[in-house]
């Protein structure tokens, strides 16, 4: 898989620069004018119909889903939606889904499976919502289930981290045949603030945490945890959204045309093998 | 952080549940459950195995698999130093102990988290040990029991740790294509990325009384909703009422309950022929061979 090399800097900046560099990535991924999931859907799809509700409890506006046409193919689209204006941001819970959001995603992935449609997932969330109602309705079970459903789809799947890839709530839509990241997106096991608060006992160390977590797109591509970095215009996706959309559309067309050729059973085996191979560890020879 | 069940051997200690002063020797006899209030003390992985596995039946798998510091992660303490301390303190190489055992005569593949080892957190080594556990269980026709005590993914391994949620999901779904049961026993605490992946991918979810189970921790939730969490909101009993726990099992009943379940769900006494049992065996002591995984 051709992964382009980082254009700038590596990890060997002088010590004092490290927290600042780490934080710049986080700030870019969270930029208030960064294109949102709905903007990508509007730009990438020639027709899109939103489908709502988990058929159990309610519709969760933090995850949008529906069917649309991309390059002549119908796809099921899922994505975290943070919203733009203050009121919409609140109604979308700042892109932090409740369990019903993941259950809607599972329902729509099931639809894709039955109708043989590919799935595109656009990831942009600080994380799954850590509130009381979310807990009471089984946030952990909803995420665990979404991971299972997505991993076993026999249809072609691509996930793209377009902004913030915040821990399990992001990964729940991320177990795809191909995983891409926009250049200024981040993908992390925990928010830098949460990490700083737990490990440093000081939320003000979020810059240090961001640098230590190596959450940038180029870093993750180097580790082999994602397949491709999709370049953004100089200054970030919001500077020229049209160029960002075009750049992603090209990458998506290429990946979908490649993975569409896999046969369905081999596809699941391949996807399972990909995620089973994730990780590096050591193995000591122990006596006895 | 729960009390170490084996502190530097005082002869008695106060119960965190009711403050009663308890004799350690008597507590061990009672499986570390307070006779006054029923508080379940945390158990080390080997203590747990001693309580649930038939005597002498446990054969460990993959004892040499351990995480390393992939990112050069330094917070207040460098990660490699945290690993060294955890290994020294627990005598374990990683936060999960896996192997083959018998429970009430039934052969099972079993994994037990040890919360003392970095909060039972899941990094690459825990992910690999669990993947091998499920793979070997499928190959040998064994049901799986996983005893969970974990705060979630191991932050010091960054996105590698997050991806372990995908890895263990792949292991669980592969195993569940066969017709063998996967039972999880959730103990205090079961939260974060471990709760939101392998724990809740089990066919049956058992929990110990009072165990805290959830996605987010209490403090994070309270910071989010700006109010105190109702008492017991994340305890096993409340989750059972809401439909997220099949059976709350007090510790003395865990081993007999597991034996009954494995009997009813069709486990074989010799680890009978599962759907993929023909795929081959290994000696169970070393690295999994390729052919021994899925």
Distance from CA of A117 to the nearest CA of B (A): 22
| pLDDT (mean) for A160-184 | 98
Query: What is this model's ipTM?
Result: 0.93
Distance from CA of B109 to the nearest CA of A (A): 19
Please give the pLDDT value at position A12: 43
Please give the pLDDT value at position B287: 40
pTM recorded for the entire structure: 0.92
Least Cα distance to A70 among A38, A45, A40 occurs for A45
For A263, how many CA atoms within 13 A lie in the half-sphere containing its CB?
Answer: 2
CA distance A177 to A139: 25
Measured between beta carbons, the chain B residues lying within 8 angstroms of A151 are 166, 169-170, 173
Contact between residue B210 and residue B167 where contact means Cβ atoms under 8 Å apart? no
Residues 6+ apart with CB under 8 A from A36: A81, A82, A83, A84, A124, A163
The yes-or-no verdict on residue A132 having pLDDT over 80 is yes
Contact between residue A154 and residue A204 where contact means Cβ atoms under 8 Å apart? no
Contact between residue B146 and residue B185 where contact means Cβ atoms under 8 Å apart? yes
Please give the pLDDT value at position B24: 94
Please tell me if residue B287 touches chain A, with a CB cutoff of 8 Å.
yes
Please tell me if residue B55 touches chain A, with a CB cutoff of 8 Å.
no
| pLDDT (mean) for A138-163 | 98
Residues 6+ apart with CB under 8 A from A266: none
Residues 6+ apart with CB under 8 A from A264: A154, A155
**Strand B59-61 to strand B21-23: parallel, antiparallel, or no bridges (unpaired)?**
unpaired
Chains A and B: how many Cβ contacts under 8 Å? 204
The helix (H) or strand (E) run that includes residue B103 is strand B96-103
Q: What is the pLDDT of residues A103-120, one digit of tens each?
A: 999 999 999 999 999 999
Please give the pLDDT value at position B224: 84
Dihedral over Cα of B126, B129, B132, B136: its sign = negative
Please give the pLDDT value at position A19: 81
What are the structure tokens assigned to B97, written together?
């102990």
Please give the pLDDT value at position B251: 98
Distances (CA, A) of A204 to A207, B75, B109, B163, B217: 8, 13, 44, 27, 20
Please tell me if residue B242 touches chain A, with a CB cutoff of 8 Å.
yes
Q: CB–CB of A280 and B160 under 8 A?
A: yes
Please give the pLDDT value at position B219: 86
The yes-or-no verdict on residue A265 having pLDDT over 50 is yes
Measured between beta carbons, the chain A residues lying within 8 angstroms of B166 are 147, 151, 171, 174-175, 275, 278
Residues 6+ apart with CB under 8 A from A234: none
| pLDDT (mean) for A77-102 | 97
Q: CB–CB of A174 and B225 under 8 A?
A: no
CA angle A235, A238, A242 (to 5 degrees): 110
**pLDDT tier at A10, thresholds 50, 70, 90:** very low
When CB atoms are compared, the residue of A134, A171, A273 closest to B162 is A171
Task: Look over chain A and give the mean of its residue pLDDT values, rounded to a whole number.
Answer: 93
Coil, strand, or helix at residue A233? coil
Please tell me if residue B138 touches chain A, with a CB cutoff of 8 Å.
no
Burial level of B25, CB count in 10 A (0-12/13-18/19+)?
exposed
Phi first, then psi: give them for residue A119, nearest 5 degrees: -125, 130
Please give the pLDDT value at position B5: 53
For B30, how many CA atoms within 13 A lie in the half-sphere containing its CB?
Answer: 17
Q: CB–CB of A212 and B170 under 8 A?
A: no
Which residue in chain B is spatially nearest to A270 when comparing CA positions? B170
What are the structure tokens assigned to A37, written together?
């999931």
pLDDT in tens, chain B (294 residues): 455 555 557 899 999 999 999 999 999 999 999 999 999 999 999 999 999 999 999 999 999 999 999 999 999 999 999 999 999 999 999 999 999 999 999 999 999 999 999 999 999 999 999 999 999 999 999 999 999 999 999 999 999 999 999 999 999 999 999 999 999 999 999 999 999 999 999 999 999 999 999 999 888 898 888 889 998 999 999 999 999 999 999 999 999 999 999 999 986 655 444 433 333 444 443 443 333 333
Q: CB–CB of A140 and B215 under 8 A?
A: yes
**Strand A73-80 to strand A118-125: parallel, antiparallel, or no bridges (unpaired)?**
parallel
Distances (CA, A) of B229 to A72, A169, A226, B132, B187: 50, 22, 38, 38, 20
Distance from CA of A185 to the nearest CA of B (A): 13
- B268: alpha, beta or left, given left = phi > 0 and alpha = psi -120 to 50? beta
Please tell me if residue B279 touches chain A, with a CB cutoff of 8 Å.
no
When CB atoms are compared, the residue of B67, B159, B230 closest to A281 is B67
Which residue in chain B is spatially nearest to A194 when comparing CA positions? B220
**pLDDT tier at A13, thresholds 50, 70, 90:** very low
């Amino acid at each position: 898989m051709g992964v382009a090399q980082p254009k700038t800097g590596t990890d060997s900046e002088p010590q004092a620069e490290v927290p600042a560099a780490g934080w710049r990535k986080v700030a870019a991924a969270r930029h208030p004018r960064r294109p949102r999931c709905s903007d990508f859907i509007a730009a990438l799809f020639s027709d899109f119909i939103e489908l709502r509700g988990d058929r159990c409890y309610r519709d969760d506006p933090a995850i949008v889903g529906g069917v649309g046409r991309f390059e002549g193919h119908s796809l099921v689209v899922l994505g975290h939606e943070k919203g733009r204006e203050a009121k919409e941001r609140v109604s979308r819970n700042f892109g932090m889904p409740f369990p019903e959001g993941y259950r809607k995603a599972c329902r729509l992935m099931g639809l894709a499976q039955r109708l043989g449609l590919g799935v595109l997932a656009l990831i942009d969330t600080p994380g799954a919502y850590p509130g009381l109602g979310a807990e009471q309705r089984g946030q952990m079970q909803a995420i665990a289930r979404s991971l299972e459903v997505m991993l076993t789809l026999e249809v072609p799947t691509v996930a793209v981290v377009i902004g913030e890839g915040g821990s399990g709530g992001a990964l729940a839509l991320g177990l795809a045949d191909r995983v891409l990241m926009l250049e200024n997106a981040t993908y992390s096991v925990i928010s830098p603030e949460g990490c700083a608060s737990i490990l440093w006992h000081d939320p003000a160390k979020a810059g240090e945490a961001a640098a230590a977590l190596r959450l940038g797109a180029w870093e993750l591509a180097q580790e082999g945890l994602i397949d491709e970095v999709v370049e953004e215009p100089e200054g970030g996706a919001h500077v020229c959204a049209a160029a960002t959309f075009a750049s992603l559309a090209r990458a998506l067309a290429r990946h979908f045309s490649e993975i569409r050729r896999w046969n369905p059973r081999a596809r699941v085996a391949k996807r399972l093998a990909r995620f089973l191979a994730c990780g590096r560890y050591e193995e000591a020879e122990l006596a006895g | 952080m729960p009390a170490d069940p084996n502190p530097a051997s005082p002869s008695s200690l106060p119960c965190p549940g009711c403050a009663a002063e308890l004799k350690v020797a008597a507590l061990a006899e009672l499986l570390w459950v307070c006779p006054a209030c029923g508080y379940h003390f945390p158990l080390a992985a080997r203590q747990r195995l001693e309580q649930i596995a038939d005597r002498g039946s446990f054969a460990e798998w993959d004892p040499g698999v351990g995480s390393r510091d992939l990112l050069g992660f330094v917070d207040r303490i460098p990660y490699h130093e945290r690993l060294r301390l955890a290994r020294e303190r627990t005598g374990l190489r990683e936060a999960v102990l896996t192997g083959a055992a018998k429970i009430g005569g039934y052969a099972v593949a079993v994994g037990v988290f040890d919360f003392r080892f970095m909060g039972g957190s899941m990094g690459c080594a825990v992910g690999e040990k669990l993947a091998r556990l499920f793979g070997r269980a499928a190959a040998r026709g064994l049901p799986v029991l996983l005893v969970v005590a974990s705060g979630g993914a191991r932050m010091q391994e960054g996105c590698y740790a997050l991806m372990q949620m995908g890895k263990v999901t792949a292991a669980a779904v592969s195993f569940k294509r066969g017709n063998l049961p996967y039972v999880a026993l959730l103990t205090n605490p079961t939260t974060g990325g471990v709760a939101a992946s392998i724990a809740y991918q089990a066919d049956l979810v058992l929990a110990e009384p009072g165990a805290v189970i959830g996605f987010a921790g209490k403090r994070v939730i309270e910071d989010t909703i700006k109010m105190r969490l109702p008492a017991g909101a994340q305890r096993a009993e409340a989750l059972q009422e809401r439909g997220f726990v099949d059976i709350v099992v007090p510790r003395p009943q865990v081993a007999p309950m597991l034996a009954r379940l494995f009997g009813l769900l069709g486990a074989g006494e010799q680890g009978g022929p599962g759907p993929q049992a023909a795929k081959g065996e290994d000696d169970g002591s070393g690295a999994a061979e390729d052919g021994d995984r899925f």
